[in-house]
Structure formats: C-alpha cells, structure tokens
A and B are shown apart, each in its own frame.
Chain A
Amino acid sequence: MGQASLVSDSSRHSIVEVSEFRKSYRKQLAVDGVNIAVRRGELYGLLGPDGAGKSSLMKAIAGVMTFDSGNIDVFGTRLNSEAASETIKDLIGFMPQGLGLNLYPDLSVEENINFFARLRLVDEQELLERKQRLLAMTRLEKFRQRPMKQLSGGMKQKLGLICTLIHQPKLLILDEPTTGVDPVSRRDFWTILATLLHEQQITALVTTAYMDEASRFHHVSLMYAGQILAEGKPDQICAMIPGTTLMVQTDEQAKAIQLLRQHFSQVQPDGKWIRLFVDDMDADTAIDRVRTLLSALKLEAVQKVDTELEDAFVGLLKRQALATVKDDAKVESADLNFAELIARNSDFVAIETCELTKDFGEFRAVDSVSLRVQEGKIFGLLGANGAGKTTVIKILTGIMPPTKGSGSIAGADIARLGPSIKQRIGYMSQQFSLYMDLTVIENIMLYAGIYGLRAKEARERCHWIGEMAGLSGDIRERTSNLPVGMRQRLALGCALVHRPRVLFLDEPTSGIDPVGRQHFWELLFELSRSEGVTILLTTHYMSEAEHCDHLGLMHAGKLVADASPEALKREVENEAGQLLEIAVSDADSAIQRLTEIGFKNSEMYGQHIHLMSKTPQQDAYRIREELNGLQVSSVRILDLSMDDVFVYKIRALERLADTGLKRMDR
C-alpha cells in the first residue's frame, strides 16, 4: 500500500527524458524543440489536436522512428542508434494510433494475445496466468473465441492494451488509445489503466485529443504545432490564465454574443447559455462588468464556472498569438432580431422519422428510431461506435434505404428523394468529403456546378465560403495542404454552397483543435439562429453535446433518450443525484471504506475519487466524517457534465440488458 504517496515523491529520477527534440518530414517541421520528463509511476498525458506532433514524439520514444536532433533517454539509455533502441524494447509496451490497427482482425481475442506473448517469448505458464488476469480485468473473458474484427471499438482498444501489456513492460506508450471510442468505453479504459499503474508500478505516457480527459493524468503537456504550450498538473494549467469563466443566460442570445464579442475574445454559445472568459478579473468584478455591458438586455442568470482545460488551451493559444482569432466570424448577420424571430416561432418540422429500422443481414443497426427536429434547431445524435448514428444519417440523406419505417425531410418522403429535395439537403460525411487533390476553388466550383448554380451565383458563394472559412488567401492552395480545421470549414462550406435548409453533419469536429472547434460551432450557431437552417449532427465530444438544442442518445440501434441537454441532466440528477469529488491522499483505503459504507459507485478519476449522491450536502459531510483518518483535503459537489449523463444512461441500459440475459438463462 501507500504507492499513491510515491507519486508525489519528487526525488525519483525520470524514466523518460526528452530534450530539444526535433523532427521534420521532408520540409515540414513536425516537432520543434520539445522537452519533457516522465517520472516513475506517473500517468503522463500529451494533449493536443491532430498534427500537433504528439505521434512523432511517441514513436521516437518507443524507438521506432529516427529524429533530426535532440536527445531521448529512456530508462537511462540514450536512444541514438538502433542497437540502443533494441536494448530497451523489452521494457516498453507501445500501442500505435488507430482502433485495433496493431491487431490481427481474423484472429480471435485469445489468438491475438498468444501471438504477442510468443513474439515476446513469454513463458507459457506465465502467459496463462497473465491472460486470465487481464481478460478478467477488461471483461473480455466472454469473448475469448471471438475474432477481433467483430469487437466494438472500445473492446478492440482493451484487447490492444492486453497485447501491449502481456510481456509486463515497465513503460507503456499509448498513442490516442481513446480516440473514436465512446465515453463509456473510454471511462472503462482509464479505470483499467489507473488500476494497472497502481498495482504494478508501471509508468505510462499517453496522448489524447480529448481535453476533458486531462484531469485523469498526473502530469500534462499541452502540445500545439510542434511545441509545448504549457505543462504541469492539470489544475495548475487551468490556473495559468488569470481570469474568470462565466456562463450567461439571456433571451436575446445572439445579440448578447454580438455585444460581448466587442469586449472579450473568448465568447461562445453553449446551448441556451453563453460561455465567456474574462481576462484578469476575479469572479465578482467579471460578473459586474458583464451585467453592465448587457444592461440593455434581460439577463436570466450570470454565474461563474470552473475554468476548464479547453478554455485554458484556447486562452493560451490566443495569448501566444499562435492562432489568429477572427473577430468577424459573422455570417451575413444582417438583421439578427428578425432572423431570430423566424427561428423561434417556427414549429415547422424539418426532419421526422417514424420507426426507422435498418438491418444488415442478421445485425440490426437501427431499431425503430422515431425523432422530430424542428426547423432552425440543432439536434445532436450521441452514442457509442456502432450505435447506429451514421446509419440514421445515411438513411435520411437517401444514401441507403431503410429496411422498415419511414422518414421525411421538409415534408418529402425519404424513400423518394427527388432532385428538388436533394437541392435542399447539405451533407458532410465522417471522412473528409472534399477532393484532396483539387484546390480550394476547384472544390467549391465543382459542388456549385453539381448543384447547378449559375456562374455569378457560384462566384458569390465562393466568396462567401472563403470569408466564412477564413481562407480567402489560400484559394488556389491544394486542399491536402490545408490544416485540418480549415479543411473541415471548407467541407462545411461546400456542403452549404447551394444554401441547403437542412444540414447533416457526421462527426464534423473529430480531431480538430479546440480553437477550430469553437469556430466551427460559432458557424453552426449562426446558421441555425440567423438563417434558420436545421442541423442534425453526431459527435463524440460530450462538451459539444451541450451546445445542441436537443439531444438524441442512441444505444444498440435504439433511441434511448430524446430531450434537451438540461432536461437530460435533470433527469439523471433526479435518478442518481449529483457528483461528489473527493481529494484524498490514500485513495485505495478511501475507496474501500466508501464501498463499505454504501457508496458502491465510487471510482478513481485521475487523482480524485468520484461518486454519485442523491443527497450531496449530507453525504459530503458524512464522507468527511467517515474518512477522517485518511487526510481528506476536499469534498466538492460538481455539476454533472454531459459525459457523466451519457455514461450513467448507457451503464443503466447495460445493467438492464445483463439482468435480462440472466433472467433468460434461468
């Protein structure tokens, strides 16, 4: 016991030390002078958007890639030759990026594990024991014989982890293990990792593109454009930017945003709320300032919230002027009041489905989904990989017909989507739907031509898209050379070239950096509020789900929840209570004690313990009492995030399915 305290022991030497690391691909500089140090037993996080240089760094540390200059020491061995890299490979477990890319799809779970074990010359007897333990831990025991290709995304990643761990490495290097994995599986993954680290004194270096996972790490480095922006403990980074994050609610949201943008650089709509960051002010001064600025409007509420890593990241970028922030991200905001009126008073149903069902052979991908989206609203479809979100979008856009059920878009039956209704639909698929080998202008003109725009109109739209996506200067640039965020905005632009009234977006923001995502959401917001465009989108980012007017949660093909974000949160709060966060030095004993006194759902979350409580005030008090001897430094009541809501809902459904199965067994 007592390993937890070891984590804060600063006298231990580093397992990984990187200094002045540089790597370029042809002429493109990928990583530019990075220094990091990972200490024994640490869960070290490298956070940053796609193309920040995370993967290059990881590969170099794992000894599978050469680099231009700088030093890397792993377990005290300097990686300066292939021979040197070989000597440490037994101590390292490396899981490359991509869902199950290091595994063999046609081999079963067990065969995959056996293969990796034999490759690493693991003793057969030991293999048997480790396999047993790891399979039990990851709850893959039942699926031993199942071919890897038939596992879900989350299960693939867990199997990947087992295969990486089978030779008992001392250092784990995991490159984006949770990207594209649904929130429930993501939580499972982190819990397993935390337990392993704890029990076996492993050190882990992990990258992620999800900012909200940062609090799970002991130490974090924020990477952007090949450089390290900031490093430290997660809460330290949040505190690096002096200022206050506020949430404002008002009836005249669009107007308020316009006013606030004149004074603050980080203002974004967040569902019915507006989230803004006020530089260099404490909470009271900031609230006063906002109230004065918006004195002409009727304010429902102004409140301070915790600054999250995503806010800090954006703030840091803006401060270092690494990202140019457009102040004029407006979309023809001619007469907002009038437009808002349209959006608000419209009861017109833009998208409607009735008992939509789709079978692929034996497998039912979509199971009687009925939903309604009103004109001018943003509807978010959430769910794990394979829950059926993409299939719903493909049916609605007429790419594939449903097996059963019906649907309509703007009143037209989807079974017979003629050219006239297709003219009113915009669609952006999961993959980049642009032609990478064409230039920006060629892409726009192609789609303008396909939708039959006349030359003059096409030029106008082209200009508009250039403005909107902020790429007026790069119009003759090959699309493949654009940064990911800009590409995504261009793809949105192409989907909008014919002014569609209904927009379908399938995971439009995955892999984009937070600044890019903010821009993107501002655009969507403008479209829905000022032009009355109806938007149906899917996302894995739970923080984005909160921006939507309405959410649909999908699980195993079914729509299991259908409400506004607030309503969903309230529902879960009523059922399960609020979230308590306990900071305690001896977490092991604390969890044991908590479980004994009835808090069965307590779990490790980074360095803290999380649990749900229906009577948070009393429970907080009681927990302080009960854990008296264990140095509790704080017990806080947290607001539920969409992530919590999602995980709670899905777990409840899984439990239901489990008990159902057990009943059937009997």
Chain B
Amino acid sequence: MNLQNESWYQIALWFRQVSVMILKEFPQLVRDRAVFAYILYIFTLDIIIASGATLELKNAKVIINDGDRSHISRELIYRFRAPYFDVVDVDMHPDAALRSLDHGDATLFLDIPANFNETLQRGQEPAVIQMLVDTSIANLGYLAASYGTQISSELGAEWVGQHLSAAGASVGSLPQINNQRRIRFNPDINESWFSSISELLAVITVACIFLPSIAMVREKERGTFEQLMVSPLTPFQIMFSKIVAMMIVMLIGSALSLFVILEFLFDVPLRGSLPLFFALTALYAFATAGLGMLAATFARNSGQLGMLLMLIVFPIIMLSGLWVQPESMPIWLQQIINLTPLRYFIDIAYGILLRGAGIDVLWDSAVKMAGIGVILFTFALWRFQQQFK
C-alpha cells in the first residue's frame, strides 16, 4: 500500500515538474516581443500574402505589331484578354518590340503581317503570324506561349468552320472528341484554397522546428540550462516540456489561421473532422520537433541555430511536395523525401481539409509519420544527453 502511494507520488511529481516547465514558457514567449510578433505574423499575414502569389498566368504584358489592321487581326488581338493578358501596345514597330522584350518590359510579342487577312481569305496557303515569347521565367513563358497558341488555333478552327458552312458542309460531320470535365474538391479551381493550406503547412513546419529549439538554445545562451541540469529534472523532462509548450503555441496559431484566414477570408471548405486534424497536427509537431532539438544540441547560440535550421527547413519545405509534386522528381530524391514527416502530413492535411477524408483513409500516413517522429525524437534525446559528456 505504502509502495503504491510512493509510486503515485513519483508520478504526480513528474507531472508537476513538467507542468511548471511548460507553463513558464508562455509568459517568456509573450514578453519576447520579437518572437511573439513573428509567430503572430507567420500564422496570419504571411498566409494571406503567400496565397496571393499564384502559378497562373496573370496580366502578362503583350505588345503587338498589327501590320494588317483588318477586322480579323482586330478579332485576334481582342482575344488576348484579361485576366491572362494585358495588351499594352497594338502598334509597335518590330525593332522597338524586340528592344522591349530585351528589357523585360513585355512577355509576349505578336507580329501580324500586312497580308494576313488577304492570305486567310484566299485560303491557298496558311496565313502566318509570329509570336515571340520571353521564357526566361520558364513557367510563365511556357503558359504565355501555350495560351497564345491556343487563342490562334481556336480562331483558326472557327475560321475553318465558317468556311465549311459557307461551302454547305457542317463541322459536326467531321470526327471530334468532346472532352467534358467534372472537377472534384475544388470546383472553381480556386488556387487560394490550395496555396493557403500549403502555406499553413509550411508555417506549421517552421514553427514546430524553430520554436522549441530556439527556446532550448536560449536556455543555453543565458546559462539557465546548467541550473536545470543540476536540478532533479531528467533530460527527457526538459526536452518534452519544451516541445509540448511550443506545440500548444503552434496549435493556437494554426487554429487562428484555419478559422480566421482560411475559412473566413478565403472560404476554404474545412470538410473533414477538425479534432482529427488538430490531433494529427499535434502528432506532427512531435515528429518534427526532434529535428529542431537535434540542431539545438549542435548549436551554441541562436545565431548558429538559425543557420543550421535554414539548412534543414528549406529542403524539407521545397521538396516535400508543398510547392512541387514529388512525383516529378528523380527516384533517389523521392526516397529521401519519404523520410520526412512533412511528406505524410501533406497527405493528411489536404485529405482532411479539402477531401474530407477520415482516419480510415489516412491511418497509414499517420503511422509512418509517427514512426519517423519516434526515431528522430529518440536520436535527439540521445544527442541531448551526450552533449554533456
């Protein structure tokens, strides 16, 4: 009986020690204005700003030399429309136009020759127009070129159709493929849904790696760390309480951006179970925090830590599939990416938030993420104990 009391007391003591260590982090965080403002920023403004940036073609500057000035050339020019294109000049001399491209003032130059309408009407040979595209920004150039081509070939097809019907034939008599699209999960292909969630995941990753490790290195810098080492706290308790404290901060931040920014501002439909989302986000925090803690055992001050974390955080965010599809990367890189917890958290987050998926679909991602997390955490704890030997 007595023995049982004793072990209960030990457990109660363990929790009391951890809870004071967790609770002390909050006033410290709030009083550190720089860090507090940073956290507030990444969970709010940063997501708004990042979801404004899109991969679509928008307002690409177009300059045109309309040598023909016919109704058909005007029809073609008219089709280069907002929001994709912004026609700045329809009467630019080719030399001036080339200079403009050189200076990066325009993305696309369309040169319509003087006999365009005449050649088209005659129908003997193809009517030629020239499109010069600046592809120094590959993605944007590629889109501008293909949109431009699409516009001209649509116009061409319509012209053919008109000629056929004039000749008594109908377009319908020709073989055709009719492509009918049904878009799931994001019917308007609203890119801000995707980019705001993607940025939220990046921000959560940054917070999970940075916050606990910075809190740890601060203790080292200020010399309070030795005081903790001398106390009856175990290394596990010290590390655990840092991670839990910062996990709570991160969850509050995520809730803030989820409800205020994503749901309210961008109308993102939060389809799945939110408790499941937060639970798995907490699990993700543990899985990732080990990485930050590992860095904190190598760094002597926050400057060093900052540089180390850059090396860790950037590749993870760049490669894990937030910004690019992992499937488009070489196999060896994909295998490395499969070792990062973020790889699985992306599946989980999009699955819950946009597709409304439940744990029955996501359990394998969750298990893999937890497995990697346990390995990282154990390694970090081992390093943490080693650094004093």
Q: Mark A residues whose CB is within 8 Å of B.
A: 394, 397-401, 419-420, 422-423, 425, 427, 429-438, 442, 445-447, 449-452, 478
Bound-complex Cα distance A55 to B32 (A): 27
Q: Say yes or no: B224 contacts A433, CB within 8 Å.
A: yes
Q: Say yes or no: A450 contacts B226, CB within 8 Å.
A: no
- Fill in one digit per residue for B11-26: 1 if any A CB lies within 8 Å of its CB, else 0: 0010011011100100
Chain B nearest Cβ from A45, distance in angstroms: 31
Q: Say yes or no: B228 contacts A400, CB within 8 Å.
A: no
Of the A-B pairs whose beta carbons lie under 8 Å apart in the complex, a sample of 20, sorted by A's number, is A394-B226, A397-B226, A400-B389, A419-B232, A422-B230, A429-B223, A429-B227, A431-B222, A431-B223, A433-B224, A434-B224, A435-B24, A437-B28, A449-B16, A449-B17, A449-B21, A450-B20, A450-B233, A451-B231, A452-B232
The one of A397, A434, A437 in contact with B27, judged by C-beta atoms closer than 8 angstroms, is: A437
Q: Say yes or no: B388 contacts A422, CB within 8 Å.
A: no
CB-CB under 8 A from B389, the residues of chain A are 400-401
Chain A nearest Cβ from B145, distance in angstroms: 53
The one of B20, B222, B232 in contact with A446, judged by C-beta atoms closer than 8 angstroms, is: B20
Q: Say yes or no: A427 contacts B226, CB within 8 Å.
A: yes
Bound-complex Cα distance A589 to B13 (A): 73
Q: Which of B213-256 contact A (CB under 8 A)?
A: 222-224, 226-233
The one of A435, A438, A450 in contact with B231, judged by C-beta atoms closer than 8 angstroms, is: A450
Q: Say yes or no: A442 contacts B27, CB within 8 Å.
A: yes
Chain A nearest Cβ from B384, distance in angstroms: 14
Is B184 in contact with chain A by the CB < 8 A criterion? Answer: no
Number of interface residues of B (CB under 8 A): 24
- Known contacts being A400-B388, A446-B20, is A422 close to B222, with CB within 8 Å? no
CB-CB under 8 A from A445, the residues of chain B are 20
The residue in A401, A445, A452 that gathers the most chain B C-beta atoms within 10 A of its C-beta is A452
Q: Say yes or no: A435 contacts B232, CB within 8 Å.
A: no
The residue in A427, A450, A451 that gathers the most chain B C-beta atoms within 10 A of its C-beta is A450
CB-nearest residue of chain B to A421: B232
The one of A423, A431, A438, A478 in contact with B232, judged by C-beta atoms closer than 8 angstroms, is: A423
- Fill in one digit per residue for B136-165: 1 if any A CB lies within 8 Å of its CB, else 0: 000000000000000000000000000000
Besides A425-B230, A449-B21, 18 new A-B residue pairs in contact (Cβ under 8 A), listed by A number:
A394-B226, A398-B230, A399-B230, A400-B388, A401-B389, A427-B227, A427-B230, A433-B223, A435-B28, A437-B28, A437-B32, A442-B27, A449-B17, A449-B20, A450-B20, A450-B21, A450-B233, A451-B232
Q: Say yes or no: B224 contacts A452, CB within 8 Å.
A: no
CB-nearest residue of chain A to B24: A446
Q: Say yes or no: A433 contacts B28, CB within 8 Å.
A: no
Chain B nearest Cβ from A454, distance in angstroms: 9
Bound-complex Cα distance A447 to B20 (A): 9
Interface of A is mostly: loop
Bound-complex Cα distance A398 to B229 (A): 8
CB-CB under 8 A from A450, the residues of chain B are 17, 20-21, 228, 231-233
Chain B nearest Cβ from A501, distance in angstroms: 14
Bound-complex Cα distance A446 to B22 (A): 10
Is B31 in contact with chain A by the CB < 8 A criterion? Answer: yes
CB-CB under 8 A from B222, the residues of chain A are 431-432, 435-436
Q: Say yes or no: A442 contacts B231, CB within 8 Å.
A: no
CB-nearest residue of chain B to A422: B232
Chain A nearest Cβ from B270, distance in angstroms: 36
Bound-complex Cα distance A652 to B79 (A): 97
Q: Which of B30-78 contact A (CB under 8 A)?
A: 31-32
Q: Say yes or no: B227 contacts A433, CB within 8 Å.
A: yes
Bound-complex Cα distance A430 to B27 (A): 25
CB-nearest residue of chain B to A401: B389
The 6 A-B residue pairs with the shortest CB-CB distance in the complex, in nearest-first order = A449-B20, A431-B223, A419-B232, A427-B230, A433-B227, A422-B232
Bound-complex Cα distance A431 to B224 (A): 8
CB-CB under 8 A from B20, the residues of chain A are 445-446, 449-450
Bound-complex Cα distance A258 to B232 (A): 37
Q: Say yes or no: A429 contacts B226, CB within 8 Å.
A: yes
- Known contacts being A399-B388, A437-B27, A442-B27, is A452 close to B226, with CB within 8 Å? no
CB-nearest residue of chain A to B31: A437
Q: Say yes or no: A422 contacts B32, CB within 8 Å.
A: no
CB-nearest residue of chain A to B30: A437
CB-nearest residue of chain B to A433: B227
Chain B nearest Cβ from A496, distance in angstroms: 13
Q: Say yes or no: A438 contacts B28, CB within 8 Å.
A: yes
CB-CB under 8 A from B16, the residues of chain A are 449, 452
CB-CB under 8 A from B24, the residues of chain A are 435, 438, 442, 446
Bound-complex Cα distance A419 to B13 (A): 12
Chain A nearest Cβ from B239, distance in angstroms: 15
Q: Say yes or no: A399 contacts B229, CB within 8 Å.
A: yes
Bound-complex Cα distance A171 to B207 (A): 53
Chain A nearest Cβ from B15, distance in angstroms: 10
Q: Say yes or no: A422 contacts B223, CB within 8 Å.
A: no
CB-CB under 8 A from B226, the residues of chain A are 394, 397, 399, 427, 429, 433
Chain B nearest Cβ from A434, distance in angstroms: 7
CB-CB under 8 A from B17, the residues of chain A are 449-450, 452
CB-CB under 8 A from B227, the residues of chain A are 427, 429, 433
CB-CB under 8 A from A429, the residues of chain B are 223, 226-227
Chain A nearest Cβ from B189, distance in angstroms: 48
Bound-complex Cα distance A437 to B229 (A): 20
Chain B nearest Cβ from A96, distance in angstroms: 21
Bound-complex Cα distance A419 to B232 (A): 5
Bound-complex Cα distance A436 to B224 (A): 10
